Amino acid sequence: MTILNTGSPSSLSDAKDNIDDAFTRKDLRGLSYESAFAGATSFMRRKYTKDLTGVDLAVTGVAFDQAVTNRPGTRFGPRAVREASTLQTFDRPYGWDLDPFSTHTIIDYGDLAFDYAHTPSFPSLLKSHIKGILDANVASLSIGGDHYISFPILMAYAERYGPLSLLQFDAHSDTWPDDDLERIDHGTMFYKAVKMGLVDPERSVQVGIRTTIENPLGFQIIDAPEVHEKGTGYTIEKIKHILRDHKTYVSFDIDCLDPAFAPGTGTPVWGGLSSATAAAILRGLSGINMVGGDVVEVSPPFDSNGATAVAGAHVAVELICLWAAAKAARKNTRTLTKTAQ
């Protein structure tokens, strides 16, 4: 059997020779031509492996939804997003002048293992999981799961990089006051992240907000009405002005999108971004110094036609492109600095 994973041009007829790339592919770089409707559904048909040797980015699932304040179901998010991602594996990402899946070694690291019946142990397990990836000099993209997962992940990232800029796409600020570190709540973790010094709110930005915020804690906010009124170009430039070249963690809560585009989520709010607007903003943000990210709150039980999982998979690919562009920019900067010396 021929395994076509070189990233070279191919036709979909090559699907007849490709199956279960998640386990059978030998080359960790390149596109996949396996039929979208068949085979093992790793994220973008990347190799399932726990070996981080030579890896640039690890995609990992976090099937946790014990922190929700409304509808559960995001524990099924990683599985659904992986399945939806199979629709995108045949071509380089649209709208980008790069193909990270052919130029970088990206793997599916599988899901975090944790005891669903022992919630208090979850934060430290997730932090250690991400820390293990970072300690191998590999970046991470996590697929949730509810939005609480960003908090332990940020703990691991802040230990490595110091206080980060946070670029948060969301309907909610998730900064409700909560000084009890033992509480696990998907609406309070960024309050704690600020109080613990994991993120610097003055150089962070929340996009798409459309619920009341009593105390923004210093976060810069571009709410949904502002995006609608002033457009994508304005939004992109404002985000870039706030973030500048600071190391940035990007967290995309799928409820940033209007329920018309992403109904399968726990706490939908009308008046959100369209998928087209979100795509334009993400592509326009090429150049930000992204070091890691996550896509959260895809809840398949409420996603009757799979549109939310499709949106989540597209967001994940866009974030990988942002990360790859940032990695290339950092490499160029180091090269120029070395040359100048």
What lies within 8 Å, CB to CB, of 246 at 6+ separation is: 164, 165, 200, 203, 289
Q: What is the pLDDT of residue 5?
A: 42
Split at pLDDT 50, 70, 90, the class of 1 is: very low
For residue 15, tell me if it sits in a domain: no
Tell me the mean pLDDT in the region 57-81.
97
Number of domains in the chain: 1
For residue 32, tell me if it sits in a domain: yes
In the predicted model, is pLDDT for residue 3 greater than 60? no
> Which pTM was predicted?
0.94
* Residue-wise pLDDT tens digits, 128-157: 999 999 999 999 999 999 999 999 999 999
For residue 9, tell me if it sits in a domain: no
Of 215, 214, 216, 234, residue with least CA distance to 225? 234
Of 171, 174, 173, 169, residue with least CA distance to 271? 171
Give the structural domain span for 302. 22-340
Split at pLDDT 50, 70, 90, the class of 16 is: confident
In the predicted model, is pLDDT for residue 336 greater than 80? no
* Residue-wise pLDDT tens digits, 221-270: 999 999 999 999 999 999 999 999 999 999 999 999 999 999 999 999 99
For residue 44, tell me if it sits in a domain: yes
Split at pLDDT 50, 70, 90, the class of 331 is: confident
Are 329 and 247 contacting, i.e. CB atoms less than 8 angstroms apart?
A: no
For residue 14, tell me if it sits in a domain: no
Domain CATH for 228: 3.40.800.10
The share of the chain scoring above pLDDT 70, in percent, equals 93
The number of angstroms, rounded, from the C-alpha of 283 to the middle of its chain's C-alpha atoms is 14
In the predicted model, is pLDDT for residue 9 greater than 50? no
For residue 11, tell me if it sits in a domain: no
Q: What is the pLDDT of residue 332?
A: 76
How far apart CA 59 and CA 43 sit, in angstroms, is 7
Residue-wise burial string across 9-48, b where 16 or more C-beta atoms lie within 10 A, e elsewhere = ebeeebbeebbbbbeebeebbbbbbbebeebbbbbbbbbb
* Residue-wise pLDDT tens digits, 273-323: 999 999 999 999 999 999 999 999 999 999 999 999 999 999 999 999 999
Three state DSSP letters for 269-286 = CCCCECHHHHHHHHHHCC
Are 181 and 192 contacting, i.e. CB atoms less than 8 angstroms apart?
A: yes
For residue 8, tell me if it sits in a domain: no
Q: What is the pLDDT of residue 8?
A: 42
Which comes out higher in pLDDT, residue 331 or 253? 253
How far apart CA 268 and CA 224 sit, in angstroms, is 14
Q: What is the pLDDT of residue 337?
A: 60
In the predicted model, is pLDDT for residue 115 greater than 60? yes
What mean pLDDT, rounded, does the chain reach? 93
Q: What is the pLDDT of residue 134?
A: 98
For residue 249, tell me if it sits in a domain: yes
